[in-house]
Chains A and B, each alone.
Chain A
Amino acid sequence: MNSGLRKAHKYSWLLLFIIIPLIMFFSMKHIALFESTKKADIEHSFSRVNPDRDFENDLIKVAFYPKNIEIILKTTLKNASSTVYTVDENNKKRKIIGQLTTAGIYFFDLNDIPKNIIIYDDIKEVLITKTNF
C-alpha cells in the first residue's frame, strides 16, 4: 500500500470506531438486555390506577380503560409476528389494533373497547395468548 491508502484505512477505522458504538448504543437503548431470561421475576404495574377491567397471565398484563388499552408485554416473544386483535363474543378476530415487538408497555387508543383481545402470530397462524373475560 502507498501512503495515501494507509491514511485512508486509518481514517476509515477511526471513523468506524466512533460510528459503530453509536449504532450499537442507540439500537440497544430501549432493549432490556436480560429481560427475556427472567420474565417471571419482573414486577409490572399499570401506568394508571383503576382500570375498568384488568387481566394478567405469564406473558401479558392488560388494562382496559374507557378509551384505550394498555398492554404490558412481560417478555419479548419468540414469534416473528405478534399482532393484537380485538375479538367478538365467539373469539373470532375482528379488528387489528397493533403489533407487539419487544417486551415493554404498549398503549392502543380505541373508540370501541372490546370485551377481549388476542395476540396472534399471523405467519405461523397460531394463537399466542388472549384475555379471558
Chain B
Amino acid sequence: MGLDYQLVLWNKHKKTYDKIVAISMLLYIVLFAVITVVFNSETSIETLVIRAFGSLAIVMLHIILAIGPLSRLNSKFLPILYNRRHLGVSMFIAALIHGGFSIFQFHALGDVNPFYSLFTSNMDYNSLTNFPFQVLGFFALLILFTMASTSHDFFLKNLSAIIWKRLHMLVYLAYTLIIAHVFLGAFQQETSPFTIGFLFIGFVVISSLHIVTAFKEGKIDRVKAEKDTEGWLKVCEINEIEEERAKIFTVNNERIAVFKYKGKLSAVHNVCKHQGGPLGEGKIIDGCITCPWHGYQYLPHNGQSPPPFTEKVATYQLKLMESIVYINPNALEEGTEVEPVII
C-alpha cells in the first residue's frame, strides 16, 4: 500500500520476481539469436534484433493476458497477478526496442521525417498482402506506452480505479492491433506454419480462458438468495466459512465478502479500492482483510484502511440465527463501523 509514491514499491518477492523476468527475457533473446544464426545465417543483426524483441513482446503479452483469468480460476496464480505490472512494463520495453529498431531500419535512413515516412511510404490500405502493417504496430506501441506510463499507483489514485481499469482494458485493442500487425506483416513474408500456429493457438487459449472465466463469474452474479421475514438474505451455514477467510455473496450484482475471524463475523463490499481486487478471496492478516491482488488492507468491522491510509469500503450488517448467517442487503456508508457478530 503506498502513502508516498515511490518510483517502485520493492519488496523481497518483487525483486526475486523481477530477476526471474529479466533473466528469462535475456535467455529468450540469446536463444533466439543462436537459433537464427544456426538456421538462417544470412540474417542481418538489425533484422535479428527486430525479430527477437518483437517475438519476445508477443510471448510476454500472451503470458500477461493469461494471468488475469488464471488467477480467477485458481488462486495459486495470485502471486503472479501481484507482480503483473512489472511484467507489463518489461513487455513494453521489449516492444519499444522492436518498434524503435524497425523505425530506424526502415524509415530513419532516408531524408524525410521517420514518422512521416512510416505513415506515407506505403498507403496500400486496400491490399491484404501489402497492407501498411507497420502503422498498426505503431498504434499498438502507443497504447502500450500509455499503459506502461500510467501503471504507477500515482495515476491509479488520481484517475480512480474504474477509469484506470477501463484505460488499461485498451490492452485488448493493442492485442488485436498486434495480431493484425503480425499477420499482415511478418506472416506475409515468412509463412511458417510453426509461428502462425503459435499465434493461433495462443489466441485460442487466451480467449477461451477469458470467456470461460467471464461465464463462471456471471454465474456467481446471478445467484438468488432466500429472504427471511425482515428482508435479510440467507448467506450460508456458519461452518461453510473458513477461519480467517470469507464467503462471497452476491446482492443485486454487487458482491459482498463475509469474513470469519477470531470468533466473529463481519461483512464488507468485495471490491478493493485500489484496483478492484476481490477482497473476499483474500484473508485476514494482522487483523486486517488483505486484498489478494496487491495487499491493500481494511479493518473488517469498519471497512477502513488502518491509519495513515485512507481507503474505505462499504460495510453490511449481519445476524446469526441457528448457525445460519443472514445479511442486510442495504450497504452502509463506506467506512461505517458495524459491531461484529459474535459466534
In the complex, what residues of A have CB within 8 A of residue B128's CB?
Answer: 26-27, 29-30
Task: Give the segment of A13-21, A41-49, A54-62, A112-120 that binds chain B.
Answer: A13-21
- A interface list, Cβ under 8 A from B: 1-3, 5-6, 8-10, 12-14, 16-17, 19-21, 23-24, 26-36, 76, 78, 80, 99, 101-102, 124
Q: Is the CB of A2 within 8 A of B189?
A: no
Tell me which of B189, B200, B217 contacts A101 (CB under 8 A): B189
- Rounded to whole angstroms, the CA-CA distance of A60 and B174 in the bound complex is 39
User: A23 with B254: in contact, given A5-B162, A33-B191 (CB under 8 Å)?
Assistant: no
Shortest distance from the beta carbon of A119 to any chain B beta carbon, whole Å: 15
In whole angstroms, what is the CA distance A101 to B190 when docked?
11
Q: Who on chain B is nearest to A18 by CB? A: B207
| B187–A28 touching, CB < 8 Å | yes
Chain B 143-176 near chain A by CB (<8 Å), digits 1 or 0? 0000000000000000000100110010010011
A1 touches B278 (CB 8 A): yes
- 0/1 per residue, B26-51, Cβ < 8 Å to A? 00000000000000101010010000
Which chain B residues lie closer than 8 Å to A28 at the CB level? 183, 187, 196
Q: For the complex, give the distance between the alpha carbons of A78 and B192 in Å.
A: 12
| 13 further A-B pairs in the complex, CB-CB below 8 A; given A1-B271, A16-B176, A26-B128 | A2-B271, A6-B217, A9-B169, A10-B214, A10-B218, A12-B172, A13-B172, A16-B207, A24-B203, A27-B187, A35-B191, A36-B192, A101-B188
CB distance A13 to B210 under 8 Å? Answer: yes
What is the distance, in angstroms, from B192's C-beta to the closest C-beta of chain A? 8
Given contacts A20-B179, A23-B179, A27-B183, contact A12 B207 (CB under 8 A): no
A2, B221: Cα distance in complex, Å: 10
- Please determine whether B179 and A8 come into contact, CB atoms closer than 8 angstroms: no
Query: A1–B180 contact, CB under 8 A?
Result: no
A-B pairs with beta carbons under 8 Å apart, 27 shown: A1-B165, A2-B254, A5-B162, A5-B166, A5-B276, A6-B217, A9-B214, A10-B211, A12-B172, A13-B172, A13-B211, A14-B211, A14-B214, A16-B172, A16-B175, A17-B207, A17-B211, A20-B203, A24-B179, A24-B199, A24-B203, A32-B191, A33-B191, A34-B191, A78-B42, A80-B189, A124-B44
* B16 contacts the other chain (CB 8 A): no
User: Which residues of A sit under 8 angstroms from B187, Cβ to Cβ?
Assistant: 27-28, 31
Q: Which residues of B contact A99 (CB under 8 A)?
A: 130
Q: Which residue of B lies closest to A10 (CB)?
A: B214
B10 to chain A, nearest CB (A): 27
Q: How far is the CA of A23 from the CA of B177 in the complex (A)?
A: 10
The residue of chain A having its C-beta at the shortest distance from the C-beta of B177 within the complex is A23
**When chains A and B are docked, how far (Å) is the Cα of A28 from the Cα of B199?**
13
Query: Cβ of B184 < 8 Å from any Cβ of A?
Result: yes
What is the CA–CA distance of A90 and B200 in the complex, to the nearest angstrom? 49
| Cβ-defined contact, A6 with B218, below 8 A | yes
Report the minimal beta-carbon distance from A43 to chain B, rounded to whole angstroms: 19
Is B254 a contact partner of A19 (Cβ separation < 8 A)? no
